[in-house]
Structure 1
Amino acid sequence: DMDLCLTLLLICLCTTADGPNGTSSNEEEEGCLSVSRRPQSREPIAAAIQKLGVQLLQNLEPTPEQQNVIISPLSISLALSQLALGAVNETEELLMHHLHANTLPCYHQSLHNILEQLTNNDLQIATRIFLRPGFKPKEGFVTESRQLYDSEPAVLESLEQINEWVENATKGQMSDFLSALPPNLLLLLINAVHFKGEWRARFDPRFTSRGVFYLDDKHMVDVDVMENAKHPLRLFIDNELEAQVASFPFQKAVSLLVVMPLSGQVNVSALSAKLNISRLNNNLPKERVVQVKVPKFKLEYAQELQEVFTKLGLGKMFSSPNLAEMADGPLLVSSVMHKSSMEINEEGAEAAAATTVVISRASSPVFHLTQPFFFALMDDMTQIPIFMGVINNPNPDAPVLQRDLGDKEKMGFPIDKNQQGFFLCENCAICELLLLHDI
């Protein structure tokens, strides 16, 4: 039985000395329910979540300590959207603007309907509000959170309670999420997205061997490389992105989109300026059988998002937001914690790797995941990115080796005509935390 791919977002809210009051407009107006259920309402929601994900990646620079970046645009959008339920006036407008939802009618109800479509046996979404004992949020906020985001409030009793919820939500993949409770804490908003899916082509462990992943034109690392001689794949070279693009199919209408620049380097700023995930999906050709190599890896990523949100223009959330629909008295966001993990092996994975495409007249196409790449785990029906990230080094703990430019990668490998296979999302977790507290 495979474990999860999961994102978790934790938002911390606290109280401040003083602040404005106000009332937000109620979205539950006449006709909103029917508008939000129209199929055409899905596309702008998906585009908004895609855009937020790409913006975050632009501002989450890899570091020597964290060479890879893994986020869940879906999880982050859900957390900020729930926060927007409690916001009024400029704060609500600011959040909706950065969610790219300010021009979308019936946004919350439309997102709710999409969540109902997304949630199936392979994808689960869990949200929980933890309240400090004695803290009373407004009933309207609690009711809307429950109705729209299925977020049941619970009284915060201990640090262990939080960590246990996270561990359960991630099926044991994320333990000890918080080392201590922040001071002056009023409210925690935790969102978890868990994906566990099978892909349609198995990697037979007999064909897994030691290989290399090229970090750049001078350096490489050793990795275990899985091989499949007959993998169903949709792939092409995108001239605008100057990259190879491939889509790995999962069962139940989920796919893994990978973009690997021909340069061998993922310049997120340059890539994101031209990156349109829906366009790439629309340009994908018909599926065909391809020789595939994929590195095995297990990666973790943790990031406090206050700095990146401030850089994007959401700094007011952390200084003087108007959250009057959430509770009486001034509140502010003290922390947005994000944590993720991801594993790919023969049995499965969460978010995948990228590759090189070689088209040979003498043989089947070859797609080898041997260089840095961008990825997005997509729900095919809604085009929502469940996970998104950049993998620069799938084995960051391994020693970096000098690349022998004269030694070309050996492309051939055994072919088993009877290979079937499956791809499971395993050990992928993202955690995000929103904190409200006193000052």
Structure 2
Amino acid sequence: MDLHLLSLLLFCVCRQGLTNDEVLNDSPIPLIPLMPSHPKEESGNSAPSTQEPSKTGHPSAATVPPLLVPTSGSNGDSSEEDNQKQDEGCRAQARRPKSRKALAYAIQKLGMKMLGQMKTGPEQPNVIISPLSISLILSQLALGALNETEELLMRHLHANTLPCYHMSIQNFLERLRKSDLQVATRIYLQKGFEPKPEFVNQSQYLYDSEPVTFKGVAEVNEWVEKATNGKVSDFLTSLPPNLLLMLINAVHFKGEWKARFDPRFTSKDVFYIDDKHLVNVDMMMGPKYPLSLLIDADLDAQVAWFPFKNHMSMLVVMPMNGQVNISDLATKLNISDLYDRLPEERSMQVKLPKFKLDYSQELCEALTNIGMGELFTSPNLAAIAEGPLLVSSVQHKSSMEITEEGAEAAAATTVVISRSNPSFSLNQPFFFALMDDKTQAPIFLGVITNPNPGAPAVQSSGGSGGDKNDKHFDKSFGEPPK
């Protein structure tokens, strides 16, 4: 079985009140091709030569004083020795399990808020976002924010429990890049625009986000396609005319189940969209699949854990009533608690729909709805550059594909013997989270309402439900206590 997940997030910063002829001498707006990881930069891809050079040169752990804590109130008179001590202290704190768990919880909180703001429709009935991608872009923007704007960003990032927040993010990214997850970031600068060197250096040091000059939309789309293994093409069609700076990141995951699904058992089956409608889907089936499954009384849902290789997993929450209520989940979901209560794997019949979904959304409205509207009207981004700047566009695109392809893990053959042969079928709407098991941080969050939106939905013969619930929930696990 093969799982592909990816996310792209584009953050555009513009000058307020700038006329078109003040932006560029060249038209159209150029962009630069991005390359994941650490590409060898050619001379033509360096930051604009008109930019004031940084006093520290190229950033490194030894030369860049890291912004490890919120910058408001920081003392610029610190000696190099003090900065080094602060750096070492924050590095040690960022590696602590407590800090990693706090960061994971912060990413989850923001992710659930954003998931609740996502819009669906006939063309996009399912939702998938990357809270990691969104957290990274807002955290990087916080490096360029001052006073109330910085406090606003750090509050919504839930960074109050992490005094070394930016270093915790850096440590987290270093860990993820050693797994099957790929994270690529870039800063694109308009020709002639000169951001403050400290913001550029800190972005590169903490977020591995190198500055490059715009060359063209087509080149950005080419990088996007390459960085996502061809899963996303034509990401950009246009950009704001007064664009000065663009932050972008790409998150890509490709994983294999520890226990694969045999494609010979895949067949057409029904998925209940709601009490009155169903759709035919390609349903994968494991007749004796090792699965950790529990019924959670607070969530009134079945919770299943599907592990991948290399310390990643997919956590699935399927409500008993067949409807996913994100606002309810956001208040009740405690992923760490679910991890602690997951039982031993048990051999059972498991059904999981095959699906491929794409989801894209402009996030300005969603960020405004959760209380971050100041970013789009009158933010203080003076740590990026002098003069009035504002965020003009936040574009997010994610996709997910599940098939039976992939390698079989050697340790996936353990079978738990029991007198009954229980079953678990994901044949109604469910919430899922792609997790980093070591930190329990959600990398992707989503809701599957219809795995096959291209197929016509038909009337369910069960009317208001009828026998449907007996199909969904195996009684050997018991009903949740009332």
Shorter-chain TM-score tier:
0.7 to 0.9
Instruction: Report the Cα distance in structure 1 between the residues aligned to 2:467 and 2:300, rounded to whole angstroms.
Output: 24
Q: Which residue of 2 aligns with 1:370?
A: 427
Matched, 1:252 2:310: yes
The answer to whether the 8 A contact 1:200-1:232 is kept is no
Q: Which residue of 1 aligns with 2:173?
A: 115
Instruction: Report the Cα distance in structure 2 between the residues aligned to 1:195 and 1:288, rounded to whole angstroms.
Output: 27
Bigger shift: residues 316-325 or 288-297: 288-297
Instruction: Give the superposition deviation at 1:273.
Output: 2.0
The structure richer in strand per residue is 1
Q: Which residue of 2 aligns with 1:167?
A: 225
How do 1:298-337 residues align onto structure 2 when only pairs under 5 Å count? 298-337=356-395
How do 1:7-406 residues align onto structure 2 when only pairs under 5 Å count? 7-17=7-17, 24-25=72-73, 30=86, 31-347=89-405, 363-405=420-462
Instruction: Report the Cα distance in structure 2 between the residues aligned to 1:231 and 1:375, rounded to whole angstroms.
Output: 19
Instruction: Give the superposition deviation at 1:276.
Output: 1.5
Instruction: Give the superposition deviation at 1:26.
Output: 5.2
Instruction: Give the superposition deviation at 1:384.
Output: 0.8
Instruction: Give the superposition deviation at 1:270.
Output: 2.1
Q: Which amino acid aligns with 1:401?
A: V
Instruction: Give the superposition deviation at 1:246.
Output: 0.5
Matched, 1:6 2:6: yes
Instruction: Report the Cα distance in structure 2 between the residues aligned to 1:145 and 1:25, rounded to whole angstroms.
Output: 20
Bigger shift: residues 271-280 or 6-15: 271-280
Instruction: Give the superposition deviation at 1:232.
Output: 2.1
Q: Which amino acid aligns with 1:183?
A: P
The answer to whether the 8 A contact 1:4-1:170 is kept is no
Aligned residue for 2:159, secondary structure, equals coil
Instruction: Report the Cα distance in structure 1 between the residues aligned to 2:110 and 2:133, rounded to whole angstroms.
Output: 11
Task: Calculate the aligned-residue CA RMSD, in Å.
Answer: 2.2
Instruction: Give the superposition deviation at 1:181.
Output: 2.4
Instruction: Report the Cα distance in structure 1 between the residues aligned to 2:73 and 2:306, rounded to whole angstroms.
Output: 43
- Structure 1 residues 221 and 165: CA distance shift in structure 2, 3 A: same
The answer to whether the 8 A contact 1:6-1:194 is kept is yes
Q: Deviations 1:37-93 (Å, cap 9, x if unpaired)?
A: 222211111110010111111222433332111000111100100000111100000
Instruction: Give the superposition deviation at 1:229.
Output: 1.4
The answer to whether the 8 A contact 1:304-1:336 is kept is yes
- Structure 1 residues 267 and 231: CA distance shift in structure 2, 3 A: same
- Structure 1 residues 62 and 14: CA distance shift in structure 2, 3 A: same
Instruction: Give the superposition deviation at 1:197.
Output: 1.3
Instruction: Give the superposition deviation at 1:2.
Output: 6.3
Instruction: Report the Cα distance in structure 1 between the residues aligned to 2:385 and 2:327, rounded to whole angstroms.
Output: 39
- Structure number with greater Rg is 2
When the two structures are superposed, what TM-score results if normalisation uses the length of structure 2?
Answer: 0.79
Q: Deviations 1:200-245 (Å, cap 9, x if unpaired)?
A: 1111111111111001111000101111112221110001110000
Instruction: Report the Cα distance in structure 1 between the residues aligned to 2:371 and 2:356, rounded to whole angstroms.
Output: 33
Instruction: Report the Cα distance in structure 1 between the residues aligned to 2:245 and 2:144, rounded to whole angstroms.
Output: 12
Instruction: Report the Cα distance in structure 2 between the residues aligned to 1:133 and 1:25, rounded to whole angstroms.
Output: 32
Q: Deviations 1:306-356 (Å, cap 9, x if unpaired)?
A: 00100000000001111111112221100110011111111169xxxxxxx
Instruction: Give the superposition deviation at 1:280.
Output: 1.4
Aligned residue for 2:255, secondary structure, equals coil
Instruction: Give the superposition deviation at 1:4.
Output: 4.0
Instruction: Give the superposition deviation at 1:365.
Output: 2.0
Q: Which has the higher contact order (CA 8 A, sep 6+)?
A: 1
Instruction: Give the superposition deviation at 1:373.
Output: 0.4
Instruction: Report the Cα distance in structure 2 between the residues aligned to 1:7 and 1:303, rounded to whole angstroms.
Output: 11
Instruction: Report the Cα distance in structure 1 between the residues aligned to 2:111 and 2:227, rounded to whole angstroms.
Output: 22
- Structure 1 residues 196 and 146: CA distance shift in structure 2, 3 A: same
Instruction: Report the Cα distance in structure 1 between the residues aligned to 2:3 and 2:450, rounded to whole angstroms.
Output: 23
Instruction: Give the superposition deviation at 1:25.
Output: 4.9
Instruction: Report the Cα distance in structure 2 between the residues aligned to 1:260 and 1:2, rounded to whole angstroms.
Output: 22
Which structure 1 segments of 5+ residues have no match? 350-360, 412-439
Instruction: Report the Cα distance in structure 2 between the residues aligned to 1:134 and 1:224, rounded to whole angstroms.
Output: 53
Which structure 2 segments of 5+ residues have no match? 19-70, 76-82, 408-417, 472-482
Instruction: Give the superposition deviation at 1:132.
Output: 0.8
- Structure 1 residues 8 and 348: CA distance shift in structure 2, 3 A: farther
